[in-house]
Chain A
């Protein structure tokens, strides 16, 4: 029995009168790929925003359990950067790269929360700072190589082809050494070849034992990747289970009727 990494219970988020999330429960176990699906506007991105501290949820609990300990860390009320430090890293549905920084620098930013040189170290460039800087560059470059972005290392991020930009978002998130990687529609806007490459890439990342929570519209991708699937609609969880179970679930089919075709 695998240990849970992320446990979310009763997560509720109100925007004025709109209840975007309605008492949602979700959990991810270590090494798993879990998909979160649902029609547009179901509240999936809002869910990510709540657990990563960008929004403060109205109610509910969010716990993170590092695999090597049994102590639960509550993420509720933490700031986004603190959440990332604890071990959740995300990508954005609408790409949010640092456009005027190079590809390598984008990934180096991801190393920020795992390193500590500050004003003094920067000005006097102490031995410790130089060593740290070197390790930042090397780790970042290794991640670029792994994600097939090394050739672009010195390009500005906004000069990359679309698919590569999506991969760079993943690279940047991986650089923070997350316990759980959150991907918000990584295949959105990709052509079929790029989607196939992405499918391979996510499997490769998962092989290292990386737990992944994935929001995705492309059903083929979801079915191919996920160990378990959560389905939500109008802020509520309407189903959960293995890909095979979800495929047969009448509630899901109803919610998705006509939606799946254009994905």
Chain B
């Protein structure tokens, strides 16, 4: 089954890993005792472990390739979850369970964990927004964080200068972000793939640099503080209540976003986006206005980012440009890719996993990010289509027209 050549390659791979991880797993410097401990046994474990994983991956690939090809229409691996979602009763139960967990969560977990969950929910909405642009319309946008920043600064500045409240600015923030989406959309209409990625990446950086350097306007790197938390009919909240309130607000936003994105995806416009992703020329030849369709995708995606931006500013009460680096865009993009491009449930799971996992991996202390990276790599090897791939809607025709 495994050829000698593959064994040799596996051996080389494990040696390479030992070499790469040598400084952290073998050498241990004790600065107080001024001694260096060489833990050679770790190198051995690493070598054996890597070799084992290598063989496992090879075996898996081997099996996958030699599988008798399945009937064509089930080519898209339908997961367990899809099965549940397609049956109305089971779907209702699942939705009920999820809803109960969501409602009860803050009562069983600490304020800290509720706060982390709120952050994760914010990334769910961000992911769903970017999913319109990347997953549906197929426009690789690496500067998505810019719209998030626009939303956050819209609220921070309007709150600072005019004392406008959260609920007033929420739609304004969304609309201004959407406007920026169109603004970015125009120059990149003709670009595709890598070129589009580079320009949007640049756009994201430009916004951040402006915020950092235009001190008079944005207060520069020191940021804006004392932003009002979300209010509710003028009630005063304690910090804890406010966290609870923000959590439930985010739940509400997530529900609204899922609802809207689902409807968009399942409409004439959503089909046009997917067609645009599949083949631009054929799409135009079928009478779809490429410019309009792309611009709408950009602006609707940006709209959600703007909304979450306002929410973010209100939740943390302090923002500065450091929150809006390229890393944020990368994380949001990872959420979409990891979850499954174009799949709403996928993106929800992707966001929860990507944002919550580092928190709950804290038990692994310094190996946290290593484990995180490892999990991501494994994901992409075993499920390149994402956690939960999108399934296209099917239509039934019992009655024949005519």
Q: Which residues of A contact B (CB under 8 A)?
A: 52, 54, 79-81, 84-85, 89-90, 92, 96-102, 104-105, 108-110, 112-115, 117-119, 121-123, 125, 129, 132-133, 136-138, 141-142, 145, 150, 153-156, 159, 172-173, 176
* Residues 264-298 of B contacting A (Cβ, < 8 Å): 264, 266-272, 274-275, 278-279, 281-290, 296
Known: A142-B402, A159-B75, A176-B287. A133 touches B268 (CB 8 A): yes
* Residues 74-126 of B contacting A (Cβ, < 8 Å): 75-76
Task: Write the nearest CB–CB distance from A35 to chain B, whole angstroms.
Answer: 21
Task: Write the nearest CB–CB distance from A209 to chain B, whole angstroms.
Answer: 19
In the complex the two chains form, is B392's CB within 8 Å of A112's CB?
A: no
Q: How many residues of B contact A (CB 8 A)?
A: 37
* Complex: A100 Cα to B276 Cα, angstroms: 11
* Complex: A80 Cα to B282 Cα, angstroms: 9
In the complex the two chains form, is A101's CB within 8 Å of B392's CB?
A: yes
Known: A113-B288, A137-B395, A142-B402. A123 touches B263 (CB 8 A): yes
Task: Kindly count the residue-residue contacts between A and B in the assembled complex, taking CB atoms under 8 Å apart.
Answer: 132
* Complex: A121 Cα to B269 Cα, angstroms: 10
In the complex the two chains form, is A101's CB within 8 Å of B73's CB?
A: no
- From B269, B282, B287, A96 is in contact (CB under 8 Å) with B282
Nearest chain-B residue to A98 (Cβ)? Answer: B278
* Complex: A96 Cα to B279 Cα, angstroms: 7
Q: Which residues of B contact A (CB under 8 A)?
A: 72-73, 75-76, 260, 263-264, 266-272, 274-275, 278-279, 281-290, 296, 300, 392, 394-395, 397, 400-402
In the complex, 7 of the A-B residue pairs with CB atoms within 8 angstroms, ordered by the A residue number, are A81-B288, A85-B287, A89-B286, A89-B287, A92-B285, A153-B397, A176-B286
Known: A119-B300, A125-B263, A154-B394. A105 touches B271 (CB 8 A): yes
A104: chain B residues at CB < 8 Å are 395
* Complex: A238 Cα to B395 Cα, angstroms: 49
- From A90, A125, A150, B285 is in contact (CB under 8 Å) with A90
New A-B pairs, 10, CB < 8 Å, besides A96-B282, A98-B283: A54-B281, A98-B275, A113-B286, A118-B268, A145-B400, A145-B401, A150-B397, A156-B73, A159-B75, A176-B286
- From B76, B263, B278, A122 is in contact (CB under 8 Å) with B263
* Complex: A159 Cα to B71 Cα, angstroms: 10
Task: Write the nearest CB–CB distance from B232 to chain A, whole angstroms.
Answer: 25
Task: Write the nearest CB–CB distance from A111 to chain B, whole angstroms.
Answer: 8
In the complex the two chains form, is A97's CB within 8 Å of B268's CB?
A: no
In the complex the two chains form, is B269's CB within 8 Å of A79's CB?
A: no
* Complex: A19 Cα to B283 Cα, angstroms: 28
Task: Write the nearest CB–CB distance from A144 to chain B, whole angstroms.
Answer: 10
In the complex the two chains form, is A81's CB within 8 Å of B268's CB?
A: no
- From A99, A121, A132, A154, B278 is in contact (CB under 8 Å) with A99
Known: A85-B287, A153-B397. A98 touches B260 (CB 8 A): no
In the complex the two chains form, is B264's CB within 8 Å of A122's CB?
A: yes
Known: A119-B300, A137-B395. A110 touches B286 (CB 8 A): yes
* Complex: A49 Cα to B252 Cα, angstroms: 49
In the complex the two chains form, is A121's CB within 8 Å of B267's CB?
A: yes
